[in-house]
Amino acid sequence: MIDLPTLELDERFRAAAAAAGLLDVAYDVFDDTSMGPLLVGVTDRGICRISFDPEPERELERLARVHGPRVLRSSKPVERLHRELDEYLEGRRRDFDLDVDLRGQPDFQLRVLSELARVGYGETTTYGALAARAGNPRAARAVGTVMNRNPVPIVLPCHRVVGANGSLTGYGGGLHRKELLLRLEGAIS
Amino acid sequence: MAVVVPPFETFYETHKTEVFRFLVGRVGREGAEDAFQETFLRALKAYPRLEHGEHLRAWALTIANRIALDLYRRRRPVGEMPELVTEDGRPAYEELATLTHDLPPKERAAVVLRYGYDLGYDEIGAALGSTESAARQAASAGVRRIRSQSGARPQTFAPGGPPAPARGLAPANPEEQRQ
């Protein structure tokens, strides 16, 4: 008999690690969303990562760098986020009830992302307008960069930020996803 | 925050199978399940305090070894021997477990990691939080103690790896014979 830790034992450890509060980040990959596979991470303070890149290697290194090395896949802590994302993507939810953990973000990024959080479901705004609301009307391009590096897309709705002429401009997760999200929210037809 | 160790997920995935097999050899399949979880929970607790990412394998096995020892102390084995693990010419850990049963914990860890797992003394030293020479001394003291306790060289204890003695617990290289 080959001695391998069973799947059940593996899952039990992962759940116990989270239950004991020993994780800096619990993450999981949701394979079955309409946006494709999503890697999500949560800390004890809230959602710290949503990534369209299903390749965990890079993400885990990044999460460890920002939040601490105890990064472990564990499904229980991300259960609620999974449910809320499903509901949102099925058009049954407009706002997320979960907190966002933006530790490690520089000041400007933090200001821009907090303003972004106020852009409501089905609305759109422009990079310039968001820059102005963050206190620096000339920083439209910098805002574009912040959007591109948004650690929690979808929940912090960078898809609702478009060019001054109404073009979709760009999206960290690919333009087709931005279009899907805006269409889902009825912002474009 | 400077990253000195890999994300825990990577550490866990890299070592979980070996740790589990090690534990099955030490405490049997049933005990291994609890010991496995306990080992990685303990590793998780200590993980942020690690100062570098070297010797992680030795570190994981040492924690597993301690957990196995605790388990042994709690329920002194009655009658049944733990399951035998022999694959790829690897040593029968239960034999090591029996032989080293009464050694002081540090000597026991050093002997098991050296002769059961082919770890270098530098790795064992790092894992035990001491030095290479202290690990070497602990292992050789352990071996001497086993010999004196058993009265004769245990002919059955012949670990399989390269640094292992050809027969019994005779040290494999001249460096060790100087001890």
Tell me the pLDDT of chain B (179 aa) as tens digits: 455 899 999 999 999 999 999 999 888 888 899 999 999 999 999 999 998 888 899 999 999 999 998 887 766 544 444 443 444 444 455 567 777 878 887 888 888 888 877 788 888 887 777 888 898 999 888 888 888 876 544 444 444 444 444 344 444 444 444 44
Does B142 fall in a domain?
yes
Give the pLDDT confidence score for residue B78 in this predicted structure: 44
Give the residue range(s) of CATH 1.10.10.10 domains in chain A.
107-184
Does B18 fall in a domain?
yes
Give the residue range(s) of CATH 3.30.160 domains in chain A.
7-89
Domain of B140 in residue numbering reads as 8-155
Closest CA–CA distance from residue A109 to any residue of chain B (Å): 19
Topology (CATH level 3) of domain A107-184: Arc Repressor Mutant, subunit A (1.10.10)
Does B71 fall in a domain?
yes
User: B50 — alpha (psi -120 to 50), left (phi > 0) or beta?
Assistant: beta
For chain A, say whether B124 makes contact (Cβ under 8 Å). no
B37–A64: do the CB atoms touch at under 8 Å?
no
Does B118 fall in a domain?
yes
Chain A residue numbers touching B4 (CB-CB < 8 A): 69
- Taking the C-alpha atoms of residue B65 and residue B53, their distance in angstroms, rounded to an integer, is 20
B8–A4: do the CB atoms touch at under 8 Å?
no
* pTM exceeds 0.80 for this model: no
Question: Which of B39, B23, B19 is closest to B31 using CA atoms?
Answer: B23
A3–B20: do the CB atoms touch at under 8 Å?
yes
- Taking the C-alpha atoms of residue B100 and residue B120, their distance in angstroms, rounded to an integer, is 19
Closest residue in chain B to residue A73, using alpha carbons only: B9
Give the pLDDT confidence score for residue B76 in this predicted structure: 54
Topology (CATH level 3) of domain A7-89: Double Stranded RNA Binding Domain (3.30.160)
Give the three-class secondary structure for A136: coil
B36–A72: do the CB atoms touch at under 8 Å?
no
CATH number reported for the structural domain that contains residue B132 in this entry? 1.20.140
Q: Nearest Cβ partner of B3 from A16, A56, A65?
A: A65
**What's the first-to-final CA gap in chain A, in angstroms?**
59
Question: Which of B168, B173, B162, B15 is closest to B89 using CA atoms?
Answer: B162
Closest CA–CA distance from residue B110 to any residue of chain A (Å): 24
Domain count across chain B? 1
For chain B, say whether A69 makes contact (Cβ under 8 Å). yes
Specify whether the CB–CB gap between B64 and B132 falls below 8 A: no
Does B55 fall in a domain?
yes
Catalytic residues of A: 158
With a cut of 70, list the residues of chain A below it in pLDDT. 1-2
Closest residue in chain A to residue B28, using alpha carbons only: A3
Residues 8-47 of A with CB under 8 A from B: 9-10, 12-13, 16-17, 20, 22-24, 27
- Taking the C-alpha atoms of residue A34 and residue B10, their distance in angstroms, rounded to an integer, is 28
